[in-house]
Amino acid sequence: MVKKKDAASIAVRQAERSARDIRKRSKLLLKNAQLDVRSYRKQLAELKKQQIVSKRVDVRSHQPTRYMLGKLKKFKGVALGHELAVPVSKISTHRAKQYTDRGIAARVEKFLLVPKTAAKQKADVYKGHIALTTELNRGEFREIKYPANIHDMHNILEWLAEHENELNQLKGPKDQFGFQLNGHNSRQGLANIRELIAYLMRYDGTNPKERGNLFKKGAVDEFVIMRFRPPKGSNRPNMEPYYGEKRYSPRKKDRKDERRGADYKREKERQRKARQRLAEGEEQHRQRIEKQRKYDRERANDRRESRMAKRLLGD
């Protein structure tokens, strides 16, 4: 009995020593990788969430290993929340090659990595294409990545005609197609790709008096095709500018924009004067009132002289 007890005690001590060695080695690995335990487990959780590491890994108790640190290094963008991963197995080999050849995605091991553009965003495959879905306050926004080699708007029209059937399948029975150029939405929704092509061929641009905006050099860089479900009483797409903010032609400013700017300046000046009046003392208040009265008297004299001049000319 004594011998058995001694053997059990030795086994326990060996297990404790082994656990200490593992913790010591893990601590050294983290130090060399310039990470702490919290950062390591947070990044590991992100890889697990995107199926890069096995679901069997218990992030809360996992001890760092060379293998896992190597994974974090390879998929650093994903671990830090800057990229999203899509398994290559979900996409055809030909299309995966198109994505990598055209720089839309980068391949690392068995995954395609695409940039993450919003906080609440996930990547998946939709009808054979990479799709990024962003959660909104009401509903969601889905961006479908197409591996198209497009340089100008003529290429877009050719590409739309070539993939007409494929694109029409992406639209639900109550959905419509629209587009956005320089942050401006199209004036109406279209039922299918053929109608979209016909509309683009006669499109005048964001300004009715400014023709040919669509086919200007560089227009393709801010051209977005959208699928939307029109609200009741409207057939016009309603989407915030996909590329930052709305852009206007430098040759002619938008009149509504000018009015908004003037209203903003007037309101800003009114607020400045209100703050100034609150901060002034009694003497400053008296001087301001006197100055205003003097100005009013002069204006009254000018108006009186103007009326008299009109009467004389009328007579």
C-alpha 28/C-alpha 32 separation (Å) is: 6
Is 75 within 8 Å of 86 (Cβ atoms)? no
The predicted-structure confidence for 191-211, as pLDDT tens digits, reads as follows 898 988 888 877 644 444 444
Is 37 within 8 Å of 43 (Cβ atoms)? no
For the ranges 51-60, 72-81, 118-127, 306-315, the lowest mean pLDDT is seen at 306-315
The predicted-structure confidence for 148-175, as pLDDT tens digits, reads as follows 766 677 778 888 888 888 888 888 888 8
pLDDT at 75: 93
pTM, whole model, 2 decimals? 0.56
